[in-house]
Structure 1
Amino acid sequence: MYLKNHPSGLLKQEWVRNLRLYAHVAEEKKELRYNQLKLFHTENWFKALVPKRYGGGEWPLTELAAFEEAVGWADGSAGWVFTLCSGAGWFAGFMDEAFTRQLIENEKFCMAGSGEVGGTAELCDDGSYLVSGLWKYATGAPYATYFTANCLILKDGIPVTSASGERLIKPFCFLKEEVEVVNSWNTLGLLASASHSFEVHEKNIPAVRTFEINAVNTPDGALYNYPFLQFAEITLAATISGICIHFMEECLELWEEKKDRSGQKLSQNFMLKNIFKKQMTNLENARENFRITTRMSWDVCKAGKPLSQNQLSQASYNAQYLVATCRKVVNELYPYTGLTGANANSSLNQIWRDFQTASQHALFTKL
């Protein structure tokens, strides 16, 4: 299908072949395969958002979002791993410098993490923390070398409060050997993203492995000045858009083979062609608005200026609207895929399941 700024233009053909060739076995094994992960490491995708001063890519937000859509289009689970694990690498811009240089040296560098406050950290007399907890949905957990997680800070078992009276919460970074991965990822789709839970049992963590997402304290570029909420919405929305595009293309391939009751190919069915055209137009418009507001907000941030509330609202709105549009597109087209769409062994069904799972992310619920 013809689509402006098609995501395929950002990926080498061999990358797409690699990611799709192993997609089914990766889903069966519930982990990305060796050759897929080798591509991530060879191309330094896990370091895409690590500051340049550490040898990372420090990709501009606009380039990042476009590439996330492209990898999501190639394969949903691979796209989810790229977005969430490279996103965790973004935290390197706020961590202790000596510790960060040490972790980046790992040739298998990959960060996973969870945004929930799933643990507690008891402040010890020497300034370190005794941490315990359980955190869900750490994408890429089996191949992560480091994990990030939020903890409620305690002193003598009592929650520590900030100057404003709120309970103090801090993010921590754990080494792989300090973490126990809990195989809990049993969702409808994105199975190969291996977004398992992880536990930490009474580990003493030095203070240098806590950090604060505060652009004032980082010497790095504009990427680390961009507000975290809108950053997360944009990156996830881009990935979901890529999965949606892949689904639409698989529908077209199916309709070239499948016939309606009259014996006519579905691809020639007038009603279905109009439905598809309408949904593609809706997606095009949502993608364009998303790209425009993302670029505008990034340009403001890149210029060293704070984003206004209106600019933040527009960035959020168009990310949310893109995901809502993708939902409508997929849900409108799926009923015309028949039993092929319902067959768990078909590529079309896998893409549909990946989409349904990705679009359930908490950032895109209306509650």
Structure 2
Amino acid sequence: MIIPERIVEEIRQSAVNRANEGMLSPAALDFMYEEKLFKLFVPKELNGRMLPLPEALRVFERASWADGSFGWLVTIGSGGGFFSATLPPEQSKLLFGHDKAVVAGSGHANGIARPVQGGYVVDGQWKYCSGSTYASLFTANCKIEDGSGKNAVIRSFAFLPEQVEIIRDWNAFGLKATESHSIRVTEAFVPVERTFDIMSDPHYDDPIFRYPFLPFAQTSFAAVCLGICRHFLEEARAFATAKLADGTNVRPQHPQRMEKLIRTLGEKETGLQAVADELYETVERTWTEFIKQGSMEDRMEIEIDEICRRLSIDALAYAHAIFPLLGMPVLMEDHALNRIWRDLHTVTQHSVLVHGRD
């Protein structure tokens, strides 16, 4: 995917402006709608792009290279397209068919659903719902209250924006513009046709809808890590080059430090490219096998788990090796390198990259 230079500049300039750091710019959001970046896994019958996983990962990487929050929102928003294949077909057309369809929500079963005539009444609260303020649909898991006292059945629910209260509590030190706030529903009626079982057979035949969740999440977030780390290394190289070119008011030790920085950058850029090549080779090979076999073998999931977690660890290690060589300016929170460094730390904290199959 090619992101026009004007959009990259718009996204990055918006992040520089601390007053707007908590949200995407309108131009960036419009670009996401125009390019259907929230609909990478929505069937073409529903006005989606329906990309193969390896191609989608390169979109995630490029978007994250432009900006961490932008890339994260593309990645998470695209993942919501899975529900277009599990909701009843008529609901899928209604909820996913329009140009600005985007899902926010949570996979945790933090809600309670009480059966009533025609559907359920739901109460619950869920954290970390990225893209919450502009979502056209919210999804969340709930336990069905049946009064038996036995293990509750868990089912997924789709809520309309007017049913959802957004609790603006996303105060993380990175990915600030993802608006990953908590949501709450109170006595919300959900008709049975807006509920679904994510383990049910999909209504569409694309292989992505049968792809296991954990490797899907791991590869997606690894691509985000890769894009952010590439941006960090590029920005650090530009920083060092500018410092070396500026011969005024330079302390004697600064040229040596910048030269060491450039040498270290070369090493880390080579290392990042090597692990990136391995990620894409693994994904493309296992994706081909998955399509051919119709299922994913355990050995394939192990391979994916290992490369995704290693990429996350390596990307963070490369940033740690570079950051101390940058000096005092990057300690300021409004410095681009500081912001990218925080975004990388936030992504690599996700449980699917930290714990994986453990």
TM (normalized to structure 1)? 0.90
Which residue is equivalent to 2:103? 111
Q: Is the 8 A contact 2:229 2:315 kept in 1?
A: yes
Q: Is the 8 A contact 1:103 1:109 kept in 2?
A: yes
* 2:80 maps to 1:88: yes
Q: Is the 8 A contact 1:172 1:209 kept in 2?
A: yes
* 2:139 maps to 1:142: no
Counterpart AA for 1:214: M
Query: In the alignment, which of 43, 48, 56 is matched to residue 40 of structure 2?
Result: 48
Query: In the alignment, which of 348, 352, 356 is matched to residue 341 of structure 2?
Result: 352
Query: In the alignment, which of 155, 158, 173 is matched to residue 170 of structure 1?
Result: 155
Q: CA deviation at 1:304?
A: 4.9
Task: Provide the C-alpha distance between the structure 1 equivalents of 2:334 and 2:202, rounded to a whole number of angstroms.
Answer: 50
Counterpart AA for 2:143: L
Q: Which moved more, 1:59-68 or 1:91-100?
A: 91-100
Q: CA deviation at 1:15?
A: 3.2
* 2:187 maps to 1:187: no
* 2:201 maps to 1:222: no
Query: In the alignment, which of 53, 57, 60 is matched to residue 61 of structure 1?
Result: 53
SS of equivalent residue, structure 1 residue 345: coil
Q: Is the 8 A contact 1:118 1:151 kept in 2?
A: yes
Counterpart AA for 1:205: V
Q: Is the 8 A contact 2:47 2:99 kept in 1?
A: no
Q: Which moved more, 1:141-150 or 1:214-223?
A: 214-223
Query: In the alignment, which of 199, 223, 239 is matched to residue 238 of structure 1?
Result: 223
- RMSD, aligned α-carbons: 2.0
Counterpart AA for 2:16: H
Q: Is the 8 A contact 1:148 1:172 kept in 2?
A: yes
Counterpart AA for 2:292: A
Which residue is equivalent to 2:318? 329
Query: In the alignment, which of 346, 350, 357 is matched to residue 361 of structure 1?
Result: 350
Task: Provide the C-alpha distance between the structure 1 equivalents of 2:256 and 2:235, rounded to a whole number of angstroms.
Answer: 13
Q: CA deviation at 1:261?
A: 4.9
SS of equivalent residue, structure 1 residue 40: helix
Task: Provide the C-alpha distance between the structure 1 equivalents of 2:293 and 2:47, rounded to a whole number of angstroms.
Answer: 23
| Unmatched segments (≥5 aa) in structure 1 | 1-8, 162-166
Task: Provide the C-alpha distance between the structure 1 equivalents of 2:124 and 2:49, rounded to a whole number of angstroms.
Answer: 32
Which residue is equivalent to 1:251? 236
**1:142-185 CA distances to partner (integer Å, 9 max, x unpaired)?**
111111111122113x4554xxxxx4212211111111000000
**1:265-307 CA distances to partner (integer Å, 9 max, x unpaired)?**
36862x4344223222221221111101111121123235211
Percent identity over the alignment is: 31
Q: CA deviation at 1:216?
A: 3.2
Shift of the 228–292 alpha-carbon distance from structure 1 to 2, 3 Å rule, reads same
SS of equivalent residue, structure 1 residue 142: coil
Task: Provide the C-alpha distance between the structure 1 equivalents of 2:150 and 2:32, rounded to a whole number of angstroms.
Answer: 40
Which residue is equivalent to 2:247? none
Shift of the 328–315 alpha-carbon distance from structure 1 to 2, 3 Å rule, reads same
Q: Is the 8 A contact 2:261 2:326 kept in 1?
A: no
| Unmatched segments (≥5 aa) in structure 2 | 245-249
Q: CA deviation at 1:231?
A: 0.4
Q: Which moved more, 1:99-108 or 1:307-316?
A: 99-108
Shift of the 61–267 alpha-carbon distance from structure 1 to 2, 3 Å rule, reads farther
Which residue is equivalent to 1:129? 120
Query: In the alignment, which of 271, 278, 290 is matched to residue 282 of structure 1?
Result: 271
Shift of the 284–159 alpha-carbon distance from structure 1 to 2, 3 Å rule, reads farther
Pairing of 1:194-213 with structure 2 (within 5 A): 194-213=179-198
TM (normalized to structure 2)? 0.92
Shift of the 52–302 alpha-carbon distance from structure 1 to 2, 3 Å rule, reads farther
Task: Provide the C-alpha distance between the structure 2 equivalents of 1:81 and 1:244, rounded to a whole number of angstroms.
Answer: 17
Shift of the 105–219 alpha-carbon distance from structure 1 to 2, 3 Å rule, reads closer
Which residue is equivalent to 1:3? none
